[in-house]
Amino acid sequence: MPDTPLLDQVKFPADMRGFDIPRLKQLAEEVRAETIDAVSVTGGHLGAGLGVVELTVALHHVFETPKDILIWDVGHQCYPHKILTGRRDRIRTLRQGGGLSGFTKRSESEYDPFGAAHASTSISAALGFAAARDQKGGTNRVVAVIGDGSMSAGMAYEAMNNAVEATRGQLMVVLNDNDMSIAPPVGGMSAYLAGLVSGGTYRGMRKIGKKFAEHLPRPFKQAAKKAEEYARGMVTGGTFFEELGFYYVGPIDGHDMDNLVPILRNAAAITDRPVLVHVVTQKGKGYAPAESSADKLHAVVKFDVVSGKQSKPASNAPSYTKVFGTELIKRAQRDPSIVAITAAMPSGTGLDLFGQAFPDRTYDVGIAEQHAVTFAAGLAADGMKPVCAIYSTFLQRGYDQVVHDVAIQSLPVRFAMDRAGLVGADGSTHAGSFDIGYMGALPGMVLMAASDEAELAAMIATSLEIDDRPSAFRYPRGDGVGVDIPELAAPLEIGKGRIVREGTAVAILSLGTRLQESLKAAEALAARGVSATVADARFAKPLDEAMILRLAREHEALITVEEGAMGGFGAFVLQLLAEKGALDAGLRVRTLHLPDVFQDQEAPFAQYETAGLNASHIAAAALQALGVEASRAVRA
């Protein structure tokens, strides 16, 4: 544990509001040390938080949180914020079952007025708080902190476009510009911001330092003319933001407390127009292994503080992500029409590998999932084979584009839905729980779920051959099961599942990677003298009707298993059985799916225990359906 004499005196922001600048600087250093030490034992998001230590201290010093509203975009940078807002004693429970969330969360603290984790929501939320304040005649202030990467999402502009009309009072947006997303940033806005920062003003600003801050009139509106000239004089053109009705202040050094505090204080006093304060920071600041890392240690597992060496768990199988990236490269080597699209997640989706192999056929559109989907639709409409690799949870943001621009036009966009299902430490905001329902509901969609890495390879091959309608394949976060992957996997017959284990009494129909647990359940049932068939559905749409109806005919009970929310695979199967009259003879059906709650972060096995999707639960459901009393329930 680091030595933090000043931080030891600060449980809440009020405890540091009387600090002078030197003590604020010392406090920041101690918060930084505490953040590094805590994340070294918990793992999590490190770089972003290190980059906003000074900003966090300054914001909580200037703004009277929690009365004043402070909203963090994404929230992955909020660990310093949590340390300063009464949660230091729990910071080493980050991202663990029963512990602190890795993102801001309303239910966790009054200092978290708005939850986050999906990017680019903070300005909209802050505007909502500002408008509510205006409606109630309140006097509190509102500030949103949004990163340069998160400024690549349309939603941020929707909010800024609305800001000058939606609030009649104070609103501050702090643009935390560290010239990084997870990967280096992309797009025109990134270039624009770089222009602002590289312009003479910023360099000059760093020389002006404290003098500038003291001379900035308090607040602008009383010396508006002078302030405007002064402010305008200091920028190389924050006109984009000014055209939207914001005062633009910056760019300023986000690690220089001498500047940061007086400027934030002045800017916070502006009430006649929203203010955008452009702050330049360094992701990973203050920790050499992060500063020198290409991704600034955006996300880490447990690590040694001295060396920065992470203790990555050994594995006997490649990750599904790696399999996807590798397979797509193989296919693209044979088919020049294949192109790949990521929404700011090249390494997370495995498209970093693809991008190294085919830089001209890889598109990183930034945090812009809606654009990514319709961009892919345009590519497909003109004869390309676009593979849109977006985490299941983030694809939710582009759903109308999937419906309206892809499915209705039956365009052959291929959706690689990584992180489908539970994701462990990232918790409820990142779980890919809903894609079976939301994709399977679409007419014409071919929706597959890989039960292992060989199946994933086959589904990629299958999807790439579907040229007349959209297709999607889902696969989980983490490593495969260790099966061999063919050099060139053969495509599957669309709408066909497979029987993996023959039995008689009960049929377990699994979709996706819960197949392994389903097989374990069948073994446990066999040990109890209960014979179980296990089938891998492979397709949630179109269903293998012949196989499912046969299972229904030949067994007393049918158990569906999926790592997805209710209203997905099990519902599709039940609808089929009902429509075909297969329930009329008394078939007993149980559908196992994710519980109808947003599951908090937990270790993966524990999450499946909570979800009731491990072998013991599958076996118990089978016995219950067969009428075998619970007391003899099996321990799979």
Ligand X SMILES: CC(=O)[C@@H](O)[C@H](O)COP(=O)(O)O
Ligand Y SMILES: Cc1ncc(C[n+]2csc(CCOP(=O)(O)OP(=O)(O)O)c2C)c(N)n1
Residues that bind ligand Y (CB under 6 A): 48, 51, 74, 76-77, 117-119, 147-150, 176, 178, 180-182, 283, 343-345, 367, 369, 394, 397
Question: What is each CA distance from 233 to 202, 251, 268, in whole angstroms?
Answer: 11, 12, 20
| 287 annotated among ligand-binding-site residues | yes
369 binds ligand X per the rule CB under 6 A? no
Question: What is each CA distance from 57 to 101, 164, 278, in whole angstroms?
Answer: 21, 28, 17
427 binds ligand X per the rule CB under 6 A? no
| 348 annotated among ligand-binding-site residues | no
Tell me if 345 sits within 8 A of 182, measured CB to CB: yes
285 binds ligand X per the rule CB under 6 A? no
Nearest alpha carbon to residue 129 among 82, 71, 88, 78? 71
Cβ of residue 117: shortest distance to ligand X, in angstroms?
6
Angle at CA 39, nearest 5°, toward 34 and 43? 175
34 binds ligand X per the rule CB under 6 A? no
Query: What SS3 state is found at 247?
Result: strand
Cβ of residue 116: shortest distance to ligand Y, in angstroms?
8
| 119 annotated among ligand-binding-site residues | yes
Within 13 Å of residue 346, how many CA atoms lie on the same side as its CB? 20
Instruction: Tell me, rounded to whole angstroms, the distance of Cα 219 from its chain centroid.
Output: 38
Nearest alpha carbon to residue 52 among 141, 174, 140, 225? 174
Counting Cβ atoms within 10 Å, is residue 606 exposed (0-12), middle (13-18) or buried (19+)?
middle
In the bound state with ligand X, the residue whose beta carbon lies nearer, of 54 and 426, is 426
564 binds Mg ion per the rule CB under 5 A? no
Look up 221 and say whether it is catalytic. no
User: Partners of 509 in the beta sheet?
Assistant: 535, 560
Catalytic residue from among 141, 296, 397, 541: 397
In the bound state with ligand Y, the residue whose beta carbon lies nearer, of 52 and 448, is 52
Tell me if 369 sits within 8 A of 398, measured CB to CB: yes
In the bound state with ligand Y, the residue whose beta carbon lies nearer, of 205 and 367, is 367
| 149 annotated among ligand-binding-site residues | yes
In the bound state with ligand Y, the residue whose beta carbon lies nearer, of 51 and 386, is 51
Instruction: Considering only the stretches 15-23, 405-413, 422-430, 530-538, report the one whose residues sit in contact with ligand X under the rule CB under 6 A.
Output: 422-430
The contacts of residue 608 (CB under 8 Å, 6+ apart) are: 422, 517, 614
How far is it, in rounded angstroms, from Cα 610 to Cα 612? 6
| 118 annotated among ligand-binding-site residues | yes
In the bound state with ligand Y, the residue whose beta carbon lies nearer, of 169 and 398, is 398
Write the binding mask 452 to 491 for ligand X: x where contact by CB under 6 A, - elsewhere. -------------------------x--------------
Angle at CA 348, nearest 5°, toward 342 and 354? 60
**Of positions 299, 344, 353, 388, contacts ligand X by CB under 6 A:** 299
327 binds ligand X per the rule CB under 6 A? no
Cβ of residue 118: shortest distance to ligand X, in angstroms?
7
Cβ of residue 152: shortest distance to ligand Y, in angstroms?
8
Catalytic residue from among 34, 369, 562, 602: 369
In the bound state with ligand Y, the residue whose beta carbon lies nearer, of 12 and 399, is 399
Nearest alpha carbon to residue 174 among 263, 101, 104? 263
Look up 165 and say whether it is catalytic. no
In the bound state with ligand Y, the residue whose beta carbon lies nearer, of 60 and 283, is 283
Write the binding mask 142 to 181 for Mg ion: x where contact by CB under 5 A, - elsewhere. -----xxx----------------------------x-x-
Counting Cβ atoms within 10 Å, is residue 158 exposed (0-12), middle (13-18) or buried (19+)?
middle
| 614 annotated among ligand-binding-site residues | no
Could you tell which of ligand Y, Mg ion, ligand X, none binds residue 477, using a CB distance below 5 to 8 A set by kind? ligand X
Helices 21-42 + 53-62 axis angle, to 10 = 130
Alpha-helical segments (H) within 441-568: 453-464, 515-527, 545-554
The contacts of residue 221 (CB under 8 Å, 6+ apart) are: 227, 270, 271, 272
**Of positions 361, 371, 419, 555, contacts ligand X by CB under 6 A:** 419
Tokens found for residue 495: 């709408």
| 148 annotated among ligand-binding-site residues | yes
Query: What SS3 state is found at 303?
Result: strand
| 563 annotated among ligand-binding-site residues | no
Burial 126-157 (b: 16+ CB within 10 A, else e): bbbbbbebeeeeeebbbbbbbbbbbbbbebbb
| 593 annotated among ligand-binding-site residues | no
Could you tell which of ligand X, ligand Y, Mg ion, none binds residue 397, using a CB distance below 5 to 8 A set by kind? ligand Y
Look up 229 and say whether it is catalytic. no
Catalytic residue from among 105, 141, 283, 385: 283
Q: How many residues bind Mg ion (CB under 5 A)?
A: 5
| 369 annotated among ligand-binding-site residues | yes
In the bound state with ligand X, the residue whose beta carbon lies nearer, of 44 and 286, is 44
Cβ of residue 602: shortest distance to ligand Y, in angstroms?
20
Query: What SS3 state is found at 446?
Result: strand
In the bound state with ligand Y, the residue whose beta carbon lies nearer, of 48 and 577, is 48
Question: What is each CA distance from 453 to 317, 434, 513, 628, in whole angstroms?
Answer: 9, 22, 9, 35
Tokens found for residue 270: 């502006």
Site residues for ligand X, 490-529, by CB under 6 A, read: none
How far is it, in rounded angstroms, from Cα 405 to Cα 394? 17
Cβ of residue 148: shortest distance to Mg ion, in angstroms?
4
**Of positions 7, 74, 227, 622, contacts ligand X by CB under 6 A:** 74
Task: List residues binding ligand X (CB under 6 A).
Answer: 45, 74, 76, 182, 299, 348, 419, 423, 426, 430, 477
Binding residues for thiamine diphosphate: 76, 117-119, 149-150, 178, 287, 369
Binding residues: 76, 117-119, 148-150, 178, 287, 369
Please list the active-site residues. 283, 369, 397
